[in-house]
Structure 1
């Protein structure tokens, strides 16, 4: 995990045990990949790449929460397989430039 810590995730998800640490780490790595591939701007605020933008951290935390709560589900409601939830796309709107396909 490069952009969020395990402690941040556990705080966000109200988890106070270590039983799911491996699962959370795996989900966070996956969420980071998805989020970074979605945005077109740098996830960092500075050139030294030490300060991660708050919307990126929040989007990763929300996405991990969705994955954690729905780990046995094969769908997320009405979303297509390549579509992110609106809460995440709203957070990341300022970090994504429109593209024409």
Structure 2
């Protein structure tokens, strides 16, 4: 299990943490729930985490826990009692993440690149206060005034400037 864990599953199922007879079975159900859920939405959890900047959505976590509970409490595919699905349960939660475009790997790369650019922009914003001059290409430099209020920015070609000035 990569996203669920045994303690969370036991808490969801109201199983005492001291009871260990079903631990191996619960781990299998956790693995199954993760695989079934990922296949059901036809999107990778890795991509979803990239979209959410490394956070796994609690709605998908809840859907997987509902599925584990269903598998644990109904161990056969036939029920001999009247059963009805609760509204806004497993299928509803998954519908929020259903991938109808099936663009998996391209989207993973795209979101990965966007997250890298976003992280770089955050880093640049934090560091811009410390930058006085920055070489942008060839012999061209950008001179940024340290006073944020002045808004002074000047691009200078190094070949046109006395080197002693910089």
- Normalising by structure 2, what TM-score? 0.48
CA distance in structure 2 between the partners assigned to 1:94 and 1:48 by the alignment: 14
CA distance in structure 2 between the partners assigned to 1:74 and 1:57 by the alignment: 23
1:56-67 alignment to 2 at 5 Å?
Answer: 56-67=60-71
Shift in CA distance, 10/38, structure 1 to aligned 2, threshold 3 Å: same
Q: Does residue 5 in structure 1 map to residue 5 in structure 2?
A: yes
Say which structure, 1 or 2, has more relative contact order (CA 8 Å, 6+ apart).
Answer: 1
CA distance in structure 1 between the partners assigned to 2:9 and 2:100 by the alignment: 29
Unaligned runs of 5+ in 1: 79-84
CA distance in structure 2 between the partners assigned to 1:89 and 1:48 by the alignment: 21
- Normalising by structure 1, what TM-score? 0.75
2:106 aligned residue: none
**What's the offset of the Cα at 1:63?**
0.3
Equivalent in 16, 37, 40 of residue 38 of structure 1:
40
Structure with greater Cα Rg: 2
**What's the offset of the Cα at 1:47?**
5.8
CA distance in structure 2 between the partners assigned to 1:94 and 1:40 by the alignment: 12
Q: Does residue 53 in structure 1 map to residue 61 in structure 2?
A: no
Question: Does the residue aligned with 1:58 lie in a helix, a strand or coil?
Answer: helix
CA distance in structure 2 between the partners assigned to 1:15 and 1:97 by the alignment: 34
Name the structure where strand makes up a greater proportion of residues. Answer: 2
Unaligned runs of 5+ in 2: 102-166
